[in-house]
């Protein structure tokens, strides 16, 4: 009997040995000498939309934009290594190989600075929890269901005072959001995303784990995060950016935790930059790995050490608005944010509940170099999320707070596209409910998006390059109100209070402007937002009645 057990054990061990997968490495190059690419001809490696972003925000092209030297990649491949993902920002490539002699041959190449192992023994059981493994799912509490247009998602946007932006027509149209996550299972068949697919707003999907892999086949984490932005089922579930376009990238391996996932993210961010995306929403945070030697310590969280943070900072320097979850380690022995949330130019989002209080699990700051993190807070404790097969659950995690905020930030930027990403980051911090006393648990607080919109308008009042469609005066006013109109045709005029409630939706022209003046005179004391839309441009007017 013992012999049988021994034979069976040997067969099992042989079978496991036969399944050993290749190790994965990073190969760092010394330079980009001899590259056939030139920054004077960016169309060779960037889309027209990406190039336009550089022109719009006066961002110069530099060596980071140049692809990795293709002759270097060819030489590495000729050693027998399998090329995974080149990275132009880091100037190197991830590879895989079974053979240590292949690695030795690569290290002898004259343009190779060093190599680093990124993933070994990938079939072993995961030893460490992922930051988002602490997230929880619950049955939906129907008592909180607001049976209006936003349905289950009402509280998410309402807490940010963002409904007014949607009512003004800023729902993400014409904007592109990149989503990096661990998989989007069932998203291609879920009702929440039907309009995005039907309208051609899912521009691209890419798998950085497996070549030719199916991003819709594993993990609902990305599905849930994407749905908080893209969901579009009126009267049931509408997200914070339902009209935006999306690019989906799987960079995270949900079955294990290895530092190669940081390199995957950087390669994905380069791809997203080349497409000209406006925003990258990432609900991932890295501190601990299956191999403890790869772990980040607190000193690494300085905004310039972790590979993924370096990549996020470069992405931000390209004009992209990078938004990241803080992490779910706030109640753990190591309570700090994970990379790339430590990035100086990364907008880091912590989680609150419906009462606006910080969720106990939401990771805290400061960064190692003393900067306040998180930056802002959003609904992430008891949020309603899309899961498989047209279902919804309540869930908790900063992973969910991040896309809620990212979708609204996209809409705010749509309304003020002439402002750079840095201005959007700043105005959200400045117009949050803890901005006067920011701290490392709550950051600057929960942003008020209508207030942020008003603040951006105040900054524009000195810009006289474009003649306004209408002028409202005196402003502020405690009596008569006059309206001058600079165009001959009809304009659409909507008036909102500071809570985003629409008070008026009328056509205005030179012939009925007196009626609209009387409407403004009838308003109670307070601050109001007037949104005027013409055939070719629009205008926002802040009006004060006292």
Residue 443 shares a structural domain with residue 481 = no
Same domain, 441 and 475: no
How confident is residue 1, by pLDDT bands cut at 50, 70 and 90? very low
The set of residues, in sequence order, having a beta carbon less than 8 Å from that of 192 and lying 6+ positions away, is 227, 230, 231, 232, 233, 237, 239, 386, 390
**Residue 19 binned pLDDT confidence (cut-offs 50, 70, 90):** very low
Do the domain assignments include residue 359?
A: yes
Measured at the alpha carbon of residue 453, what is the angle toward residues 448 and 454, in degrees to the nearest 5?
100
Are the CB atoms for 74 and 49 separated by under 8 Å? no
Q: What is the pLDDT of residue 137?
A: 52
If asked whether residues 378 and 449 sit together in one domain, one would say yes
Digit-coded pLDDT (tens) for 37-71: 999 999 999 999 999 999 999 999 999 999 999 99
Average per-residue pLDDT for the chain: 90
- Assign residue 296 a region: left if phi > 0, alpha if psi is -120 to 50, beta otherwise? beta
114-118 contacts, C-beta under 8 A, 24 or more apart = 114/28, 115/25, 115/26, 115/27, 115/28, 116/25, 116/26, 116/28, 117/23, 117/24, 117/25, 118/24, 118/25, 118/26, 118/94, 118/258, 118/259, 118/260, 118/263
Report the CATH number at residue 476: 2.60.40
pLDDT at 3 > cutoff 50: no
Domain assignment of residue 536, given as a range = 470-545
Please indicate, yes or no, whether residues 538 and 428 belong to a single structural domain of this protein.
no
C-alpha distance from residue 388 to each of 186, 218, 222, 323, 423 (Å)? 5, 11, 11, 25, 37
Q: Is pLDDT at 234 greater than 90 in this prediction?
A: yes
CB-CB contact of 345 with 422 (8 Å): yes
- Establish if 204 belongs to a structural domain: yes
- Please tell me the distance from the alpha carbon of residue 171 to that of residue 188, in angstroms, as a whole number: 21
* pTM, rounded to two decimals: 0.84
- 477: which residues sit within 8 A by CB, 6+ positions away? 520, 521, 543, 544, 545, 546
* DSSP notation for 163-214: HHHHHTT-SSTT-EEEEEES--TTTTT-GGGHHHHHTT-EEEEEESSSTT--
- Using omega within 30 degrees of 0 as the cis cutoff, is the peptide bond preceding 14 cis? no
Query: Which of 405, 440, 459 corresponds to the end of one domain?
Result: 459
Given a cut of 90, whether residue 173 has pLDDT beyond it is yes
Say which range, 95-99, 111-115, 525-529, has the weakest mean pLDDT.
525-529
- Counting the structural domains of the chain, the total is 2
Which segment of 102-106, 232-236, 433-437, 463-467 scores lowest on mean pLDDT? 463-467
* Claim to verify: residue 366 and residue 447 sit in the same structural domain: yes
Is it the case that residue 16 has pLDDT exceeding 90?
A: no
Highest mean predicted confidence (pLDDT) among 7-16, 141-150, 194-203, 487-496: 194-203
Identify whether 409 is part of a domain: yes
- Taking only the tens place, the pLDDT of each residue in 380-397 is 999 999 998 899 999 999
pLDDT(278) > 90: yes
In a domain, 5, yes or no: no
Same domain, 298 and 372: yes
Q: CATH number, domain at 425?
A: 3.40.50.200
> Which residues have C-beta within 8 Å of that of residue 210, sequence separation ≥ 6?
none
Question: Is 478 a member of any domain?
Answer: yes
End position of a domain, from candidates 412, 438, 459: 459
Confidence band of 221 (pLDDT split at 50, 70, 90): very high
pLDDT of 330 higher than 60: yes
Mark which of 409, 424, 459 sits at the end of a domain. 459
Same domain, 451 and 488: no
Same-domain status, 495 and 431 = no
**pLDDT greater than 50 at residue 145:** no
Q: Is the pLDDT of residue 205 over 60?
A: yes
């Amino acid at each position: 009997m013992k012999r049988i057990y021994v034979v069976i054990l040997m067969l099992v061990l042989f079978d496991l040995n036969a399944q050993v997968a290749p190790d994965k490495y990073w190969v760092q190059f010394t330079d980009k000498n001899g590259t056939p690419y030139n920054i004077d001809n960016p169309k060779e490696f960037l889309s027209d939309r990406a190039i336009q972003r550089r022109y719009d925000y006066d961002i110069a092209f530099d060596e980071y934009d140049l692809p990795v030297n293709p002759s270097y990649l060819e030489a590495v491949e000729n050693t027998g290594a399998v090329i995974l993902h080149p990275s132009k920002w880091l100037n190197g490539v991830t590879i895989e190989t079974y053979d240590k002699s292949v690695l030795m041959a690569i290290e002898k190449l004259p343009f190779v600075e060093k190599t680093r192992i990124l993933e070994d023994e990938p079939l072993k059981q995961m030893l460490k929890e992922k930051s988002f493994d602490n997230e929880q799912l619950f049955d939906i509490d129907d008592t909180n269901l607001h049976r209006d247009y936003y349905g289950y998602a009402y509280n998410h946007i309402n807490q940010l005072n963002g409904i007014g932006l949607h009512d003004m027509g800023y729902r993400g149209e014409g904007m592109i959001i990149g989503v990096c996550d661990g998989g989007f299972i069932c998203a291609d068949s879920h009702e929440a995303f039907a309009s995005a697919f039907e309208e051609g707003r899912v521009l691209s999907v890419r798998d950085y784990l497996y070549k030719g892999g199916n991003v819709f086949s594993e993990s609902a984490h990305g599905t849930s995060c994407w749905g908080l932005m893209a969901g579009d089922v009126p009267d049931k579930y509408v997200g914070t950016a339902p009209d935006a376009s999306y690019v989906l990238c799987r960079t995270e391996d949900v079955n294990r935790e290895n530092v190669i996932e940081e390199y995957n993210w950087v390669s994905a961010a380069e791809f997203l930059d080349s497409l000209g995306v406006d925003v990258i929403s990432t609900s991932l945070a890295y501190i601990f790995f299956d191999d403890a030697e790869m772990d980040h310590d607190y000193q690494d969280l300085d905004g310039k050490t972790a590979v993924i943070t370096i990549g996020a900072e470069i992405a931000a320097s390209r004009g992209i608005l990078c938004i990241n979850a803080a992490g779910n380690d706030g109640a753990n022995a190591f309570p700090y944010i994970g990379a790339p949330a430590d990035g100086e130019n990364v907008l880091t989002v912590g989680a609150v509940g419906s009462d606006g209080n910080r969720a106990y699990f939401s990771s805290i700051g400061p960064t190692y170099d003393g900067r306040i993190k998180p930056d802002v807070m959003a609904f992430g404790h008891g949020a309603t999320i899309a899961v498989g097969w047209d279902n919804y659950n309540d869930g908790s995690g900063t992973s969910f707070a991040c896309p809620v905020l990212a979708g609204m930030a996209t809409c705010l930027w749509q309304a003020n596209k002439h402002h750079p990403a840095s201005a959007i980051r700043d105005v959200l911090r400045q117009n949050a409910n803890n901005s006067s006393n920011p701290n490392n648990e709550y950051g600057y607080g929960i942003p008020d998006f209508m207030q942020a919109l008003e603040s951006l308008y105040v900054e524009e009042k000195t810009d006289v390059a474009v003649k306004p469609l209408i002028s409202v005066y005196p402003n502020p006013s405690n009596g008569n109100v006059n309206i001058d109109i600079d165009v001959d045709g009809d304009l659409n005029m909507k008036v909102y209070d500071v809570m985003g409630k629409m008070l008026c939706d009328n056509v205005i022209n030179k012939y009925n402007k007196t009626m609209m003046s009387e409407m403004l005179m009838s308003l109670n004391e307070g601050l109001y937002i007037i949104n005027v839309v013409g055939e070719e441009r629009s205008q926002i007017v802040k009006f004060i009645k006292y």
